[in-house]
Structures are given as structure tokens and as C-alpha cells.
């Protein structure tokens, strides 16, 4: 099988079900666990947005013009509290209206430890799986991406907003009562939450006290004894036994490969 790869598609099941897009094909990766696979990079990259050939990938699979011009590549996507739509400077106002002015959720997750994050409602539970979370819990529903970012800024004063990929890939996280942490965070952040409600309206910031914690299992036979990050830019051929999959990482007996990082790369996949 040969073609441009994109981030793996996921389905919440026990364990998570993974499919890797390669060109027009969808490869069921769960079926390959325990088998020897070889990934060969042809040296070509095609932008996942416009399809043009590019010598370098930006923002996980974009050519430079798309990276420069598309709203989805703007810094406010990484830092939603800096949303500048109201200032009239959004790169693509129609895109911004469609993606940023819809319900977003602020959540707690446990991957390499407790973290706070945000996602559109349409990306639940995909976002959690992509981060390799073993547990997740929505704690607020808000009306816009900006509001979710402002709320996250406050909450990350008390818990991290980062995932340590090395720790996440070393083993399963210890189970934690996310609801207990949620209640503590809401109490500690009450003044800021109330200010946001005054600014945007009570209906804009909805606390979710009755959401159930989601637990996620991944298809992993063994975790690696030593972590080595594999890089297709430095190693055009990667070969090893697939031990498991977590987040967007293939866990091989020779190292771990972040598939999402290499979106748009033309790859040939061989299985033996």
C-alpha cells in the first residue's frame, strides 16, 4: 500500500479502533499489532489542504502558503484566548464563523497526568484519544472558542495544559477521580468564572456537574522498555514489530512514530 498518510482515524471501543489513511485506502492498524511492518518514505510531501507538493511540512502537513493563509493554521488555534475575529482580522472569516462560533467543551483528561484542555463538541472523544488520555471528563460547555480559551487560561493556573508524550507512552496512567479535581478547580476559579459569566452571560458558560467520566483503553501488547522517537525526515525506512498504538503514536519495538506529525508524507506500508 502506498500513498499520502494522514492522522489515524479513531473509534471509541474497547480497545480504541484505529485506521490509517494511506492514499485512498484505510488500513485497520489493530490487525497489524504483533506483526512486523515497514514504512518507507518516498521523499515526497503533499499539502493536506491544497495537495501541492512541498519540500517541507508546516503545522502537521501544510505547505507554507497554506500555513501562512489558512485560519486553521493561525496562532489563535493553539491559543484560543487570542481569538481576533471580533477585531476583523481573521484570515478566513467564514471559516472562523463556522468553527469558532460553535459549542466548545473545557475538559479534564488523564494521559501523562492531569491536564485541562478544550475541544469542539464534534471532536469528542476524538480529541481525548489523539492525546492518549486514559480518562476524560467534560466540565464546562461554552458558546465560542474564545470563551473556552479564557476559561482554560484560568484553570491552567491550577493544573497543566500539556501532555508529556514520553510519560504517556511509558505505561497506563494511574486512575484518578476527575470529578473530585473538577469540583476543586471550580471552587478555586470561582471569581474568574463569575467574571466570565458577567461578561458573556450566564448561558454562555455552563458548568457540567453531571457528566460521567470516560475511560479509554488502547490496543497495546507491550510498552517499550526504552523510548526512541522515530523521524521520517532522518530515517526514510522504519521497520519493526508493532507493539501497540496510543494517541497518534505507533509503538514499535524499535521506537515510537507520531503519525500526525508526518501527515502528507508519501509512504509505502509493507506487512510481514
Q: What is the pLDDT of residues 213-250, one digit of tens each?
A: 999 999 999 998 889 999 999 999 999 999 999 999 99
> What are the boundaries of each domain within the chain?
2-67+219-271, 102-215
Cα 259 from chain centroid (whole Å): 11
- In whole angstroms, what is the distance from residue 107 CA to residue 133 CA? 11
- Report the percent of the chain where pLDDT is more than 70: 100
Q: Average pLDDT, stretch 144-165?
A: 95
Q: Which residues pair with 205 in a beta bridge?
A: 142
pLDDT at 175: 92
pLDDT at 52: 97
Name which of 127, 131, 71 is nearest 98 in CA terms: 71
Confidence class for position 134, pLDDT limits 50, 70, 90: very high
Confidence class for position 112, pLDDT limits 50, 70, 90: confident
pLDDT at 226: 82
- In whole angstroms, what is the distance from residue 81 CA to residue 151 CA? 8
* 8 Å CB contact between 137 and 111: no
pLDDT at 76: 96
Q: Average pLDDT, stretch 168-172?
A: 92
pLDDT at 255: 95
Q: Which three cell numbers stand for residue 177?
A: 477521580
Query: What pLDDT digit, counting tens, does each position of 41-99 carry?
Result: 999 999 999 999 999 999 999 999 999 999 999 999 999 999 999 999 999 999 999 99
- In whole angstroms, what is the distance from residue 146 CA to residue 178 CA? 24
Threshold 0.85, pTM exceeds: yes
Q: Which residues pair with 5 in a beta bridge?
A: 22
Cα 89 from chain centroid (whole Å): 26
Q: What is the dihedral of CA 134, 112, 176, 187, to 10 degrees?
A: -120
Q: Which three cell numbers stand for residue 82?
A: 487570542
Amino acid at each position: 500500500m502506498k500513498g499520502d498518510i494522514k492522522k489515524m482515524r479513531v473509534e471509541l471501543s474497547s480497545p480504541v479502533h484505529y485506521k490509517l489513511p494511506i492514499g485512498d485506502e484505510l488500513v485497520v492498524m489493530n490487525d497489524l499489532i504483533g506483526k512486523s511492518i515497514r514504512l518507507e518514505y518516498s521523499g515526497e510531501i503533499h499539502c493536506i489542504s491544497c495537495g501541492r507538493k512541498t519540500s517541507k511540512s508546516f503545522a502537521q502537513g501544510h505547505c507554507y502558503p497554506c500555513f501562512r493563509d489558512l485560519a486553521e493554521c493561525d496562532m489563535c488555534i493553539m491559543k484560543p484566548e487570542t481569538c481576533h475575529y471580533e477585531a476583523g482580522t481573521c484570515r478566513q472569516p467564514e471559516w472562523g464563523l463556522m468553527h469558532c462560533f460553535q459549542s466548545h467543551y473545557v475538559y479534564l483528561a488523564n494521559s501523562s497526568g492531569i491536564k485541562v484542555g478544550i475541544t469542539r463538541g464534534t471532536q469528542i472523544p476524538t480529541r481525548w484519544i489523539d492525546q492518549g488520555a486514559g480518562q476524560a471528563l467534560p466540565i464546562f460547555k461554552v458558546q465560542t472558542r474564545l470563551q473556552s480559551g479564557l476559561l482554560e487560561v484560568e484553570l491552567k493556573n491550577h493544573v497543566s495544559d500539556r501532555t508529556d508524550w514520553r510519560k504517556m507512552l511509558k505505561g497506563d496512567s494511574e486512575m484518578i477521580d476527575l470529578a473530585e479535581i473538577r469540583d476543586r478547580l471550580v471552587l478555586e476559579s470561582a471569581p474568574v468564572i463569575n467574571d466570565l459569566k458577567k461578561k458573556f452571560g450566564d448561558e454562555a458558560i455552563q458548568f457540567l456537574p453531571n457528566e460521567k467520566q470516560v475511560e479509554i483503553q488502547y490496543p497495546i501488547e507491550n510498552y517499550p522498555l526504552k523510548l526512541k522517537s522515530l523521524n521520517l525526515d532522518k530515517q526514510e525506512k522504519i521497520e519493526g514489530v508493532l507493539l501497540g498504538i496510543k494517541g497518534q503514536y505507533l509503538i514499535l519495538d524499535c521506537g515510537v512514530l507520531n503519525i500526525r506529525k508526518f501527515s502528507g508524507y508519501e509512504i509505502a506500508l509493507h506487512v510481514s
